[in-house]
Structure 1
Amino acid sequence: MIESTDREVAGSLGTLTVREWSGDNPGWIALIAHGYGEHSGRYQWVADQLLQARALVCAPDHIGHGRSPGDRVYYEDAEYLVADLEALRREVTAQHPDLPVVLIGHSMGGMLAARYAQEHQRRLAALVLSGPVLGTWHVLDLLEHDEIPDTPIDPATLSRDPEVGAAYLADELVWHGPFKRATLRAVDDCLLAINEGPTLEIPTLWVHGEDDELVPEADTRTGIDRIRGNEFHEHIYPGARHELFNETNKTEVMTDVRNFIGRALNS
Protein backbone atom coordinates (compact mmCIF):
# COMPACT_ATOMS: atom_id res chain seq x y z
CA MET A 1 0.00 0.00 0.00
CA ILE A 2 1.30 3.44 -0.95
CA GLU A 3 0.38 6.16 1.52
CA SER A 4 -0.95 9.45 0.24
CA THR A 5 0.81 12.77 0.43
CA ASP A 6 -0.99 16.07 0.86
CA ARG A 7 -1.12 19.08 -1.39
CA GLU A 8 -3.14 22.26 -1.14
CA VAL A 9 -5.06 23.76 -4.03
CA ALA A 10 -6.66 27.19 -4.12
CA GLY A 11 -10.37 26.56 -4.53
CA SER A 12 -13.31 28.84 -5.19
CA LEU A 13 -14.20 29.24 -1.52
CA GLY A 14 -10.95 28.39 0.24
CA THR A 15 -7.80 26.30 0.12
CA LEU A 16 -8.61 22.64 -0.44
CA THR A 17 -6.75 19.71 1.05
CA VAL A 18 -5.94 17.12 -1.63
CA ARG A 19 -4.63 13.60 -1.14
CA GLU A 20 -2.25 12.37 -3.82
CA TRP A 21 -1.04 8.84 -4.45
CA SER A 22 1.79 8.33 -6.91
CA GLY A 23 3.83 5.35 -8.02
CA ASP A 24 6.73 5.11 -10.45
CA ASN A 25 6.26 6.35 -14.00
CA PRO A 26 2.50 7.09 -14.02
CA GLY A 27 0.73 6.84 -17.36
CA TRP A 28 -2.46 8.75 -16.59
CA ILE A 29 -4.15 10.91 -13.97
CA ALA A 30 -7.16 9.79 -11.94
CA LEU A 31 -9.17 12.54 -10.26
CA ILE A 32 -11.60 11.28 -7.60
CA ALA A 33 -14.64 13.30 -6.46
CA HIS A 34 -15.96 11.85 -3.19
CA GLY A 35 -19.55 11.80 -2.01
CA TYR A 36 -21.62 13.91 0.35
CA GLY A 37 -20.45 14.06 3.95
CA GLU A 38 -17.36 11.89 3.45
CA HIS A 39 -13.77 12.61 2.46
CA SER A 40 -10.94 11.51 0.20
CA GLY A 41 -9.28 9.40 2.87
CA ARG A 42 -11.97 6.75 2.41
CA TYR A 43 -10.55 6.01 -1.06
CA GLN A 44 -7.22 4.43 -0.07
CA TRP A 45 -8.21 1.01 -1.49
CA VAL A 46 -9.44 2.58 -4.72
CA ALA A 47 -6.17 4.46 -5.06
CA ASP A 48 -4.22 1.24 -4.49
CA GLN A 49 -6.09 -0.43 -7.35
CA LEU A 50 -5.59 2.51 -9.70
CA LEU A 51 -1.91 2.72 -8.86
CA GLN A 52 -1.56 -0.85 -10.10
CA ALA A 53 -2.90 0.45 -13.41
CA ARG A 54 -0.18 3.15 -13.46
CA ALA A 55 -2.37 6.05 -12.34
CA LEU A 56 -1.38 9.18 -10.50
CA VAL A 57 -4.36 9.57 -8.15
CA CYS A 58 -5.56 12.91 -6.78
CA ALA A 59 -8.62 13.32 -4.57
CA PRO A 60 -9.69 16.62 -3.00
CA ASP A 61 -11.77 17.04 0.11
CA HIS A 62 -14.61 19.20 -1.21
CA ILE A 63 -15.19 22.51 0.54
CA GLY A 64 -16.91 21.88 3.87
CA HIS A 65 -15.78 18.25 3.88
CA GLY A 66 -12.97 16.28 5.47
CA ARG A 67 -9.91 18.41 6.14
CA SER A 68 -10.88 21.24 3.81
CA PRO A 69 -12.23 24.47 5.35
CA GLY A 70 -15.79 25.75 5.42
CA ASP A 71 -19.01 25.09 7.29
CA ARG A 72 -19.56 21.35 7.33
CA VAL A 73 -21.35 19.98 4.24
CA TYR A 74 -22.43 23.50 3.32
CA TYR A 75 -22.31 25.13 -0.09
CA GLU A 76 -24.74 27.38 -1.92
CA ASP A 77 -23.76 26.58 -5.50
CA ALA A 78 -22.40 23.25 -6.75
CA GLU A 79 -20.64 25.08 -9.56
CA TYR A 80 -18.04 26.18 -6.99
CA LEU A 81 -17.16 22.53 -6.37
CA VAL A 82 -17.09 21.83 -10.10
CA ALA A 83 -14.69 24.77 -10.52
CA ASP A 84 -12.53 23.31 -7.74
CA LEU A 85 -12.15 20.10 -9.75
CA GLU A 86 -10.98 22.15 -12.70
CA ALA A 87 -8.51 24.05 -10.51
CA LEU A 88 -7.04 20.74 -9.35
CA ARG A 89 -6.91 19.38 -12.90
CA ARG A 90 -5.06 22.47 -14.10
CA GLU A 91 -2.48 22.23 -11.34
CA VAL A 92 -1.82 18.50 -11.78
CA THR A 93 -1.68 18.61 -15.58
CA ALA A 94 0.70 21.56 -15.44
CA GLN A 95 3.13 19.20 -13.73
CA HIS A 96 2.24 16.24 -15.98
CA PRO A 97 1.17 17.81 -19.30
CA ASP A 98 1.38 14.60 -21.33
CA LEU A 99 -0.87 12.48 -19.11
CA PRO A 100 -4.58 11.99 -19.94
CA VAL A 101 -7.14 12.62 -17.22
CA VAL A 102 -9.94 10.32 -16.05
CA LEU A 103 -12.53 11.69 -13.61
CA ILE A 104 -14.14 9.26 -11.15
CA GLY A 105 -17.11 10.54 -9.14
CA HIS A 106 -19.11 8.76 -6.45
CA SER A 107 -22.62 9.69 -5.27
CA MET A 108 -22.76 13.50 -4.92
CA GLY A 109 -19.27 13.43 -6.41
CA GLY A 110 -20.81 11.63 -9.39
CA MET A 111 -23.17 14.56 -9.83
CA LEU A 112 -20.23 16.97 -9.72
CA ALA A 113 -18.25 14.79 -12.13
CA ALA A 114 -21.14 14.66 -14.61
CA ARG A 115 -21.51 18.43 -14.49
CA TYR A 116 -17.76 18.89 -14.87
CA ALA A 117 -17.75 16.59 -17.90
CA GLN A 118 -20.55 18.58 -19.50
CA GLU A 119 -18.54 21.78 -19.10
CA HIS A 120 -15.04 20.41 -19.86
CA GLN A 121 -15.45 17.37 -22.08
CA ARG A 122 -12.31 17.99 -24.09
CA ARG A 123 -10.18 17.94 -20.96
CA LEU A 124 -11.13 14.36 -20.04
CA ALA A 125 -10.15 11.06 -21.60
CA ALA A 126 -12.95 9.22 -19.75
CA LEU A 127 -15.53 9.51 -16.99
CA VAL A 128 -16.60 6.98 -14.33
CA LEU A 129 -19.81 7.53 -12.34
CA SER A 130 -20.36 5.37 -9.23
CA GLY A 131 -23.84 5.46 -7.72
CA PRO A 132 -24.20 9.07 -8.93
CA VAL A 133 -26.88 11.44 -7.70
CA LEU A 134 -28.52 12.23 -11.05
CA GLY A 135 -32.05 12.68 -12.32
CA THR A 136 -34.04 12.85 -9.10
CA TRP A 137 -33.07 12.25 -5.47
CA HIS A 138 -35.58 11.47 -2.74
CA VAL A 139 -33.45 13.25 -0.12
CA LEU A 140 -34.49 16.54 -1.75
CA ASP A 141 -37.97 15.92 -0.33
CA LEU A 142 -36.51 17.25 2.93
CA LEU A 143 -36.80 20.74 1.43
CA GLU A 144 -40.56 20.52 1.92
CA HIS A 145 -40.08 20.80 5.71
CA ASP A 146 -39.97 24.17 7.46
CA GLU A 147 -37.04 22.82 9.46
CA ILE A 148 -34.79 20.15 7.95
CA PRO A 149 -35.17 17.04 10.13
CA ASP A 150 -32.09 15.29 11.44
CA THR A 151 -31.99 12.25 9.15
CA PRO A 152 -28.39 11.00 9.08
CA ILE A 153 -27.32 8.49 6.48
CA ASP A 154 -28.06 4.93 7.57
CA PRO A 155 -24.69 3.12 7.43
CA ALA A 156 -26.46 -0.12 6.54
CA THR A 157 -27.30 1.38 3.13
CA LEU A 158 -23.61 1.70 2.23
CA SER A 159 -22.47 -1.91 1.91
CA ARG A 160 -23.34 -5.51 2.70
CA ASP A 161 -20.08 -5.57 4.68
CA PRO A 162 -21.02 -4.45 8.22
CA GLU A 163 -17.44 -3.33 8.90
CA VAL A 164 -17.89 -0.59 6.29
CA GLY A 165 -20.83 0.89 8.19
CA ALA A 166 -19.01 0.60 11.51
CA ALA A 167 -15.94 2.39 10.14
CA TYR A 168 -18.16 5.08 8.63
CA LEU A 169 -19.83 5.77 11.98
CA ALA A 170 -16.47 5.88 13.77
CA ASP A 171 -14.85 8.22 11.23
CA GLU A 172 -14.52 11.68 12.76
CA LEU A 173 -13.96 13.27 9.34
CA VAL A 174 -17.36 12.03 8.14
CA TRP A 175 -20.33 14.34 8.74
CA HIS A 176 -23.00 12.60 10.81
CA GLY A 177 -25.36 15.54 11.30
CA PRO A 178 -28.40 16.80 9.38
CA PHE A 179 -28.50 17.99 5.79
CA LYS A 180 -28.21 21.73 5.20
CA ARG A 181 -31.02 23.48 3.32
CA ALA A 182 -28.68 25.54 1.14
CA THR A 183 -26.76 22.43 0.13
CA LEU A 184 -29.91 20.56 -0.82
CA ARG A 185 -31.05 23.53 -2.90
CA ALA A 186 -27.64 23.60 -4.60
CA VAL A 187 -27.93 19.89 -5.41
CA ASP A 188 -31.42 20.44 -6.82
CA ASP A 189 -30.16 23.30 -9.00
CA CYS A 190 -27.21 21.22 -10.21
CA LEU A 191 -29.45 18.29 -11.16
CA LEU A 192 -31.66 20.63 -13.19
CA ALA A 193 -28.61 22.08 -14.94
CA ILE A 194 -27.34 18.59 -15.78
CA ASN A 195 -30.72 17.54 -17.12
CA GLU A 196 -30.72 20.57 -19.43
CA GLY A 197 -27.05 20.28 -20.36
CA PRO A 198 -25.25 18.56 -23.24
CA THR A 199 -24.85 14.82 -23.67
CA LEU A 200 -21.58 13.15 -22.71
CA GLU A 201 -19.58 12.41 -25.83
CA ILE A 202 -16.51 11.09 -24.00
CA PRO A 203 -16.24 7.42 -22.95
CA THR A 204 -18.40 7.12 -19.83
CA LEU A 205 -19.00 4.23 -17.43
CA TRP A 206 -21.91 4.16 -15.00
CA VAL A 207 -21.78 1.60 -12.17
CA HIS A 208 -24.59 1.22 -9.63
CA GLY A 209 -25.83 -1.19 -6.99
CA GLU A 210 -29.18 -2.79 -7.72
CA ASP A 211 -30.12 -2.55 -4.02
CA ASP A 212 -28.90 1.01 -3.52
CA GLU A 213 -31.49 2.59 -1.21
CA LEU A 214 -29.60 5.82 -0.62
CA VAL A 215 -29.40 6.69 -4.34
CA PRO A 216 -31.84 4.34 -6.10
CA GLU A 217 -30.75 3.15 -9.52
CA ALA A 218 -34.14 3.91 -11.11
CA ASP A 219 -33.97 7.57 -10.01
CA THR A 220 -30.43 7.96 -11.33
CA ARG A 221 -31.42 6.40 -14.64
CA THR A 222 -33.86 9.25 -15.31
CA GLY A 223 -30.86 11.57 -15.36
CA ILE A 224 -28.55 9.14 -17.13
CA ASP A 225 -31.01 8.83 -20.00
CA ARG A 226 -30.80 12.60 -20.55
CA ILE A 227 -27.01 12.78 -20.84
CA ARG A 228 -25.81 9.43 -22.17
CA GLY A 229 -23.89 9.62 -25.44
CA ASN A 230 -22.72 7.06 -27.97
CA GLU A 231 -19.79 5.87 -25.84
CA PHE A 232 -21.79 5.13 -22.71
CA HIS A 233 -21.49 1.87 -20.75
CA GLU A 234 -23.19 0.64 -17.61
CA HIS A 235 -22.94 -2.14 -15.01
CA ILE A 236 -25.74 -2.69 -12.48
CA TYR A 237 -24.63 -5.13 -9.76
CA PRO A 238 -27.29 -7.44 -8.26
CA GLY A 239 -27.57 -7.18 -4.49
CA ALA A 240 -25.02 -4.37 -4.19
CA ARG A 241 -25.73 -1.27 -2.14
CA HIS A 242 -24.49 2.32 -2.44
CA GLU A 243 -20.72 2.26 -1.96
CA LEU A 244 -19.61 -0.09 -4.70
CA PHE A 245 -15.93 0.54 -3.96
CA ASN A 246 -16.58 -0.72 -0.41
CA GLU A 247 -18.95 -3.54 -1.32
CA THR A 248 -18.41 -7.28 -0.93
CA ASN A 249 -17.89 -7.49 -4.71
CA LYS A 250 -15.62 -4.45 -4.87
CA THR A 251 -12.89 -6.39 -6.67
CA GLU A 252 -15.33 -7.20 -9.48
CA VAL A 253 -16.40 -3.55 -9.66
CA MET A 254 -12.84 -2.27 -9.78
CA THR A 255 -11.90 -4.82 -12.43
CA ASP A 256 -14.74 -3.49 -14.59
CA VAL A 257 -13.63 0.09 -13.92
CA ARG A 258 -9.99 -0.60 -14.73
CA ASN A 259 -10.86 -2.51 -17.89
CA PHE A 260 -13.08 0.34 -19.07
CA ILE A 261 -10.38 2.93 -18.38
CA GLY A 262 -7.79 0.79 -20.15
CA ARG A 263 -9.94 0.59 -23.27
CA ALA A 264 -10.69 4.31 -23.18
CA LEU A 265 -7.04 5.28 -22.87
CA ASN A 266 -5.96 2.92 -25.63
CA SER A 267 -8.68 3.89 -28.10
Structure 2
Amino acid sequence: MTDVELTHLAGTRGDVVVHRWPHPAPTHRVLLAHGYGEHLGRYHHVAAALHANGAEVVGPDHLGHGRSEGERVLVESYDDVLADFHAAAQQTPTDLPVVLVGHSMGGMIAARYAQLHAADLTAVVLSGPVLGSWYPVEEFADGEIPDEPLDVSTLSRDPAVGERYAADPLIWHGPFKRPTLRAIGRCLDEINNGPRITKPTLWAHGGDDQLVPIGPTRAGVARIRGENLTAVEYPGARHEIFNETNADDILADVTRFVTSALRGTPAGLPR
Protein backbone atom coordinates (compact mmCIF):
# COMPACT_ATOMS: atom_id res chain seq x y z
CA MET A 1 0.00 0.00 0.00
CA THR A 2 1.48 3.31 -1.07
CA ASP A 3 1.23 6.47 1.01
CA VAL A 4 -1.50 8.93 0.24
CA GLU A 5 -0.70 11.82 -2.11
CA LEU A 6 -2.37 15.18 -1.42
CA THR A 7 -3.05 17.56 -4.28
CA HIS A 8 -5.14 20.69 -4.64
CA LEU A 9 -7.80 21.94 -7.02
CA ALA A 10 -9.69 25.18 -7.32
CA GLY A 11 -13.10 24.27 -5.97
CA THR A 12 -16.37 26.14 -6.28
CA ARG A 13 -15.75 28.01 -3.02
CA GLY A 14 -12.03 27.73 -2.39
CA ASP A 15 -9.16 25.29 -2.35
CA VAL A 16 -10.11 21.61 -2.22
CA VAL A 17 -7.61 19.00 -1.04
CA VAL A 18 -7.72 15.73 -2.97
CA HIS A 19 -6.46 12.45 -1.51
CA ARG A 20 -5.05 9.89 -3.92
CA TRP A 21 -3.73 6.44 -3.15
CA PRO A 22 -1.97 5.48 -6.40
CA HIS A 23 -1.60 1.88 -7.55
CA PRO A 24 1.29 0.63 -9.71
CA ALA A 25 -1.01 -1.50 -11.89
CA PRO A 26 -4.63 -0.60 -11.14
CA THR A 27 -7.52 -2.60 -12.52
CA HIS A 28 -10.06 0.06 -11.57
CA ARG A 29 -10.48 3.38 -9.79
CA VAL A 30 -12.52 4.00 -6.66
CA LEU A 31 -13.98 7.43 -5.95
CA LEU A 32 -14.42 7.82 -2.20
CA ALA A 33 -16.84 10.26 -0.52
CA HIS A 34 -16.59 10.86 3.24
CA GLY A 35 -19.36 11.80 5.66
CA TYR A 36 -20.54 14.94 7.44
CA GLY A 37 -18.07 16.74 9.68
CA GLU A 38 -15.16 14.38 9.00
CA HIS A 39 -12.46 14.02 6.35
CA LEU A 40 -10.87 11.47 4.05
CA GLY A 41 -7.83 11.08 6.27
CA ARG A 42 -9.97 8.72 8.38
CA TYR A 43 -10.30 6.32 5.44
CA HIS A 44 -6.73 5.11 5.00
CA HIS A 45 -7.67 1.58 6.08
CA VAL A 46 -10.62 1.61 3.68
CA ALA A 47 -8.34 2.76 0.87
CA ALA A 48 -5.85 0.01 1.86
CA ALA A 49 -8.51 -2.69 1.47
CA LEU A 50 -9.64 -1.29 -1.87
CA HIS A 51 -6.02 -0.84 -2.98
CA ALA A 52 -5.23 -4.48 -2.15
CA ASN A 53 -8.11 -5.39 -4.46
CA GLY A 54 -6.46 -3.54 -7.36
CA ALA A 55 -7.90 -0.04 -6.99
CA GLU A 56 -6.43 3.38 -7.33
CA VAL A 57 -8.40 5.38 -4.75
CA VAL A 58 -9.25 9.07 -5.10
CA GLY A 59 -11.44 11.50 -3.22
CA PRO A 60 -11.62 15.07 -1.86
CA ASP A 61 -12.18 16.57 1.53
CA HIS A 62 -15.52 18.26 0.80
CA LEU A 63 -15.69 22.03 1.06
CA GLY A 64 -15.76 23.15 4.68
CA HIS A 65 -14.35 19.80 5.77
CA GLY A 66 -10.94 18.45 6.68
CA ARG A 67 -8.08 20.17 4.89
CA SER A 68 -10.26 21.94 2.31
CA GLU A 69 -11.16 25.60 2.56
CA GLY A 70 -14.52 27.04 3.55
CA GLU A 71 -16.34 27.77 6.78
CA ARG A 72 -16.51 24.54 8.76
CA VAL A 73 -19.39 22.24 7.67
CA LEU A 74 -21.14 25.10 5.90
CA VAL A 75 -22.66 23.88 2.63
CA GLU A 76 -25.22 26.16 1.05
CA SER A 77 -25.78 23.90 -1.96
CA TYR A 78 -24.69 20.33 -2.59
CA ASP A 79 -24.35 21.28 -6.23
CA ASP A 80 -21.06 22.85 -5.13
CA VAL A 81 -19.92 19.66 -3.39
CA LEU A 82 -20.90 17.55 -6.38
CA ALA A 83 -19.05 19.88 -8.75
CA ASP A 84 -15.92 19.65 -6.60
CA PHE A 85 -16.24 15.87 -6.39
CA HIS A 86 -16.54 15.61 -10.17
CA ALA A 87 -13.52 17.88 -10.61
CA ALA A 88 -11.53 15.61 -8.29
CA ALA A 89 -12.63 12.59 -10.31
CA GLN A 90 -11.50 14.29 -13.51
CA GLN A 91 -8.22 15.61 -12.11
CA THR A 92 -6.34 12.58 -13.46
CA PRO A 93 -8.43 11.17 -16.33
CA THR A 94 -8.60 7.40 -16.68
CA ASP A 95 -9.98 4.74 -18.99
CA LEU A 96 -10.30 2.35 -16.05
CA PRO A 97 -13.69 1.21 -14.71
CA VAL A 98 -14.83 3.52 -11.92
CA VAL A 99 -16.51 2.45 -8.68
CA LEU A 100 -18.13 5.01 -6.39
CA VAL A 101 -18.05 4.48 -2.60
CA GLY A 102 -19.79 6.88 -0.22
CA HIS A 103 -20.46 6.80 3.52
CA SER A 104 -23.25 8.63 5.40
CA MET A 105 -23.55 12.14 3.94
CA GLY A 106 -21.02 10.85 1.43
CA GLY A 107 -23.56 8.15 0.57
CA MET A 108 -26.07 10.88 -0.22
CA ILE A 109 -23.46 12.61 -2.36
CA ALA A 110 -22.65 9.31 -4.06
CA ALA A 111 -26.30 8.58 -4.82
CA ARG A 112 -26.82 11.99 -6.42
CA TYR A 113 -23.52 11.70 -8.28
CA ALA A 114 -24.61 8.31 -9.62
CA GLN A 115 -27.84 9.87 -10.87
CA LEU A 116 -25.95 12.67 -12.62
CA HIS A 117 -22.94 10.74 -13.94
CA ALA A 118 -24.18 7.20 -14.45
CA ALA A 119 -22.30 6.83 -17.73
CA ASP A 120 -18.99 7.33 -15.91
CA LEU A 121 -19.55 4.57 -13.36
CA THR A 122 -19.37 0.78 -13.22
CA ALA A 123 -20.72 0.21 -9.70
CA VAL A 124 -21.83 2.05 -6.54
CA VAL A 125 -21.34 1.27 -2.84
CA LEU A 126 -23.46 3.11 -0.27
CA SER A 127 -22.43 2.74 3.39
CA GLY A 128 -24.99 3.94 5.94
CA PRO A 129 -26.19 6.55 3.45
CA VAL A 130 -28.39 9.53 4.29
CA LEU A 131 -31.26 8.80 1.90
CA GLY A 132 -35.01 9.18 1.87
CA SER A 133 -35.27 11.50 4.89
CA TRP A 134 -33.08 12.36 7.85
CA TYR A 135 -34.31 13.38 11.29
CA PRO A 136 -31.85 16.31 11.86
CA VAL A 137 -33.23 17.98 8.72
CA GLU A 138 -36.81 17.45 9.84
CA GLU A 139 -36.18 18.54 13.44
CA PHE A 140 -33.55 21.27 13.21
CA ALA A 141 -33.61 22.88 9.73
CA ASP A 142 -36.33 25.28 10.86
CA GLY A 143 -36.18 24.72 14.62
CA GLU A 144 -33.76 25.17 17.47
CA ILE A 145 -30.40 23.55 16.81
CA PRO A 146 -28.89 21.85 19.88
CA ASP A 147 -25.34 22.67 20.90
CA GLU A 148 -24.54 19.14 22.04
CA PRO A 149 -21.69 17.47 20.14
CA LEU A 150 -22.07 14.10 18.49
CA ASP A 151 -22.40 11.16 20.88
CA VAL A 152 -19.28 9.28 19.79
CA SER A 153 -20.60 6.02 21.25
CA THR A 154 -23.02 5.85 18.31
CA LEU A 155 -20.17 5.51 15.80
CA SER A 156 -18.95 2.00 16.59
CA ARG A 157 -19.00 -0.76 19.18
CA ASP A 158 -15.24 -0.20 19.43
CA PRO A 159 -14.80 2.63 21.97
CA ALA A 160 -11.39 3.53 20.52
CA VAL A 161 -13.15 4.76 17.37
CA GLY A 162 -15.09 7.34 19.37
CA GLU A 163 -12.00 8.36 21.32
CA ARG A 164 -10.03 9.01 18.14
CA TYR A 165 -12.98 10.88 16.63
CA ALA A 166 -13.29 13.15 19.68
CA ALA A 167 -9.56 13.94 19.60
CA ASP A 168 -9.32 14.62 15.85
CA PRO A 169 -8.78 18.37 15.23
CA LEU A 170 -9.84 18.07 11.57
CA ILE A 171 -13.31 16.89 12.57
CA TRP A 172 -16.08 19.39 13.30
CA HIS A 173 -17.25 18.99 16.89
CA GLY A 174 -19.80 21.80 16.96
CA PRO A 175 -23.52 22.09 16.17
CA PHE A 176 -25.18 21.75 12.78
CA LYS A 177 -25.31 24.79 10.52
CA ARG A 178 -28.85 25.62 9.43
CA PRO A 179 -27.97 26.32 5.76
CA THR A 180 -26.28 22.91 5.58
CA LEU A 181 -29.35 21.11 6.95
CA ARG A 182 -31.54 22.90 4.43
CA ALA A 183 -29.12 22.03 1.64
CA ILE A 184 -29.22 18.37 2.69
CA GLY A 185 -33.02 18.52 2.57
CA ARG A 186 -32.96 19.92 -0.97
CA CYS A 187 -30.44 17.30 -2.09
CA LEU A 188 -32.60 14.51 -0.64
CA ASP A 189 -35.61 15.90 -2.53
CA GLU A 190 -33.59 15.88 -5.76
CA ILE A 191 -32.50 12.30 -5.17
CA ASN A 192 -36.02 11.16 -4.25
CA ASN A 193 -37.36 12.68 -7.49
CA GLY A 194 -34.37 11.71 -9.63
CA PRO A 195 -33.69 8.70 -11.85
CA ARG A 196 -33.12 5.21 -10.54
CA ILE A 197 -29.55 4.01 -10.11
CA THR A 198 -29.19 1.22 -12.65
CA LYS A 199 -25.54 0.35 -12.03
CA PRO A 200 -24.76 -2.58 -9.72
CA THR A 201 -25.23 -1.14 -6.23
CA LEU A 202 -24.32 -2.37 -2.76
CA TRP A 203 -26.23 -0.80 0.12
CA ALA A 204 -24.61 -1.76 3.44
CA HIS A 205 -25.99 -0.51 6.77
CA GLY A 206 -25.55 -1.14 10.48
CA GLY A 207 -28.62 -2.61 12.11
CA ASP A 208 -28.06 -0.46 15.22
CA ASP A 209 -27.29 2.77 13.37
CA GLN A 210 -28.76 5.58 15.49
CA LEU A 211 -27.21 8.46 13.52
CA VAL A 212 -28.69 7.42 10.17
CA PRO A 213 -31.48 5.00 11.11
CA ILE A 214 -31.95 2.20 8.63
CA GLY A 215 -35.73 2.65 8.20
CA PRO A 216 -35.77 6.04 6.44
CA THR A 217 -32.78 4.99 4.34
CA ARG A 218 -34.61 1.81 3.31
CA ALA A 219 -37.51 3.94 2.08
CA GLY A 220 -35.09 6.20 0.19
CA VAL A 221 -33.28 3.29 -1.41
CA ALA A 222 -36.61 1.85 -2.55
CA ARG A 223 -37.31 5.05 -4.48
CA ILE A 224 -34.07 5.02 -6.48
CA ARG A 225 -33.00 1.39 -6.63
CA GLY A 226 -32.49 -0.38 -9.92
CA GLU A 227 -32.80 -4.09 -10.57
CA ASN A 228 -29.18 -4.77 -9.59
CA LEU A 229 -29.22 -3.90 -5.87
CA THR A 230 -27.52 -5.89 -3.13
CA ALA A 231 -28.64 -4.87 0.37
CA VAL A 232 -26.77 -6.09 3.45
CA GLU A 233 -27.66 -5.25 7.05
CA TYR A 234 -25.05 -5.95 9.72
CA PRO A 235 -26.88 -6.80 12.96
CA GLY A 236 -25.66 -4.82 15.96
CA ALA A 237 -23.35 -2.62 13.90
CA ARG A 238 -23.52 1.11 14.50
CA HIS A 239 -23.08 3.97 12.06
CA GLU A 240 -19.48 3.70 10.90
CA ILE A 241 -19.50 0.15 9.59
CA PHE A 242 -16.01 0.57 8.12
CA ASN A 243 -14.82 1.22 11.69
CA GLU A 244 -16.88 -1.48 13.36
CA THR A 245 -15.58 -4.44 15.34
CA ASN A 246 -16.24 -6.59 12.25
CA ALA A 247 -14.86 -4.03 9.80
CA ASP A 248 -12.50 -6.53 8.17
CA ASP A 249 -15.44 -8.75 7.22
CA ILE A 250 -17.46 -5.75 5.98
CA LEU A 251 -14.60 -4.46 3.84
CA ALA A 252 -14.12 -7.98 2.48
CA ASP A 253 -17.81 -7.93 1.46
CA VAL A 254 -17.25 -4.58 -0.27
CA THR A 255 -14.23 -5.77 -2.22
CA ARG A 256 -16.03 -9.01 -3.16
CA PHE A 257 -18.94 -6.97 -4.46
CA VAL A 258 -16.63 -4.66 -6.41
CA THR A 259 -14.75 -7.59 -7.98
CA SER A 260 -18.03 -9.23 -9.00
CA ALA A 261 -19.40 -5.97 -10.42
CA LEU A 262 -16.25 -5.49 -12.50
CA ARG A 263 -16.62 -9.05 -13.82
CA GLY A 264 -20.35 -8.74 -14.36
CA THR A 265 -21.08 -11.69 -12.08
CA PRO A 266 -23.21 -12.02 -8.90
CA ALA A 267 -21.40 -11.11 -5.68
CA GLY A 268 -22.92 -13.93 -3.66
CA LEU A 269 -23.86 -11.55 -0.83
CA PRO A 270 -27.36 -11.58 0.72
CA ARG A 271 -29.84 -9.60 -1.33
Q: 2:259 — aligned with what?
A: 262
Q: Which residue of 2 aligns with 1:51?
A: 51
Whole-Å Cα distance in 1 between the matches of residues 50 and 35 of structure 2?
A: 18
Query: Post-superposition shift, 1:144?
Result: 3.5
| AA of the residue aligned to 2:142 | E
> Hey, what's the Cα distance between the residues in 1 that align with 2:142 and 2:10?
35
Corresponding residue of 2:269: none
The aligned counterpart of 2:170 is 173
Report if aligned partners of 1:40, 1:61 keep a CA contact under 8 Å in 2: yes
Task: State the Cα distance separating 1:225 from its structure 2 match.
Answer: 0.5
Aligned equivalents of 2:88, 2:57: Cα separation in 1: 12
Matches of 1:248 and 1:261 in 2, distance apart?
A: 22
Question: Would you say 1:144 and 2:108 are equivalent positions?
Answer: no
Distance 1:3 1:150 in 2: 37
Give the deviation of 1:26 after TM superposition. 1.1
Shift of residue 11 of structure 1?
Answer: 1.8
Paired AA for residue 250 in structure 1: A
Q: Structure 1 residue 236: deviation in Å?
A: 0.3
Residue 79 of structure 1, CA deviation: 1.3
In 2, the alpha carbon distance for the partners of 1:244 and 1:46 equals 11
| One-letter code aligned to 2:118 | Q
Deviation, 1:164, is: 0.1
Could you list the structure 1 runs, at least 4 aligned residues long, displaced by more than 6 angstroms after superposition.
none
Identity over the aligned pairs, expressed in percent? Answer: 53
The residue aligned with 2:60 is 60
Q: Does structure 2 retain, via aligned residues, the 8 Å contact 1:151–1:179? A: no
Distance 2:194 2:91 in 1: 26
Once the two structures are superposed, residues 102-139 of structure 1 have per-residue CA deviations (whole angstroms, 9 ceiling, x without a partner) of 11000000000000000110101111000000011111
Which residue of the partner structure matches residue 242 of structure 1?
239
Instruction: State the partner residue of 2:267.
Output: none
Shift of residue 85 of structure 1?
Answer: 1.4
Give the SS at the match of 2:19.
Answer: strand
Q: Which residue of 2 aligns with 1:253?
A: 250
Alignment of 1:213-232 (within 5 A): 213-232=210-229
Structure 2 residue 157 is the aligned partner of structure 1 residue 160: yes
Shift of 1:150: 1.0
| Equivalent AA in structure 1 for residue 46 of structure 2 | V
Asked whether the 8 Å contact 1:107–1:132 carries over to 2, the reply is yes
Cα distance in 2 for residues equivalent to 1:152 and 1:126:
34
Q: Is the 8 A contact 2:59 2:89 kept in 1?
A: no
What's the CA shift for 1:22? 1.5
State the Cα distance separating 1:73 from its structure 2 match. Answer: 0.1
Bigger mean CA offset, 60-69 vs 147-156: 147-156
Secondary structure, aligned partner of 1:144: coil
CA distance in 2, matches of 1:175, 1:89: 25
Q: Aligned with 2:141: secondary structure? A: helix
Q: Deviations over 1:61-109 (max 9, x none)?
A: 00000000000000110111111111111122x2xx2211111000000
CA–CA distance in structure 2, aligned partners of residues 250 and 148 of structure 1:
32
Q: For residues 200-211 of structure 1, what are the structure 2 equivalents within 5 Å?
A: 200-211=197-208
User: Cα distance, 1:2 vs. partner?
Assistant: 3.0
Mapped partners of 1:80, 1:124: distance in 2: 20
RMSD of aligned Cα (Å) = 1.0
From 195, 200, 203, the counterpart of 1:198: 195
- Structure 1 residue 23: Cα displacement: 2.6
Is the 1:157–1:214 contact (alpha carbons within 8 Å) kept by the matching residues of 2? yes
